[in-house]
Structure 1
């Protein structure tokens, strides 16, 4: 089952369990899905929407001088496991020859293509700068 359908199924489950916070978070997500031109979204598109919502909520919280939110925790639960720095470094060492690139940052494209949404671009950039 793809991520979009799994999240939509969570709405029914959260309603049955009377979990108001999860219900509210899932409704926001489903609302964002419905605003997209394509009604059937890929997992990468769903992850991008979730990350956008998390970023927006984080900015609102920091502007209000608060930190942490149940809404953010619920949304983060739908994100795929993030690759850690050691995994990324190991993959780069085994698969990327940095000498083939005029600039180390040009290696970002194949690295991000391999890891997809499971690696943060800022983390990959920092790792490449350390090489």
Structure 2
């Protein structure tokens, strides 16, 4: 079952359960997927790949994380809480996130593969690491780990 089909089923379930927050969040995912599909129709395709669908959810989750930080910094806890609840729903559609130790192991492996020696090699390391960890780790967290490893 594609993510789009799963989302359609989740919309029905949320409507039956009268779960307003879940319904809004899941409808938001479907809206963005439909927008992306309309963009690619001009390119001769009519459906997103699973990777592209995953990228949509990752983008929405990243937006929620950014919003939570901004609302918290502005002292708007009620809005930050709403965004956090939406993020929980979005994370149900993402692969399990890796622990910091697992990310560090992947970074160490990439550093060894490319022979990185210092901060100027950060781009050489980030590319392969992000490709390997796609969807399983936040890019900001990976970048911070790579930076700390290359500074030593």
State TM-score, norm by structure 2: 0.69
1:95 and 1:30 mapped to 2: Cα distance?
A: 35
* Bigger share in helix: 2
Q: Which runs of 5+ in 2 are unaligned?
A: 41-45
Q: 1:123 aligns to what?
A: 141
Q: Which runs of 5+ in 1 are unaligned?
A: none
Q: Is the 8 A contact 1:14 1:22 kept in 2?
A: yes
Identify the range of structure 1 (19-28 vs 90-99) with the bigger mean alpha-carbon deviation: 90-99
- RMSD of Structure 2 on Structure 1 (CA): 2.7
Q: 2:121 aligns to what?
A: 104
| Alignment partner of 1:72 out of 77, 82, 87 | 87
Q: 1:41 aligns to what?
A: 48
Higher-RCO chain (CA-CA 8 Å, sequence separation at least 6): 1
Q: 2:100 aligns to what?
A: 85
Change in Cα spacing, 1:124 to 1:32, as seen in structure 2 (3 Å) is: same
1:44 and 1:64 mapped to 2: Cα distance?
A: 36
How far off its partner does 1:30 sit? 1.2
State TM-score, norm by structure 1: 0.78
Equivalent residue of 2:76, what SS? coil
- Aligned pair count? 131
How far off its partner does 1:7 sit? 1.6
Identify the range of structure 1 (61-70 vs 2-11) with the bigger mean alpha-carbon deviation: 61-70
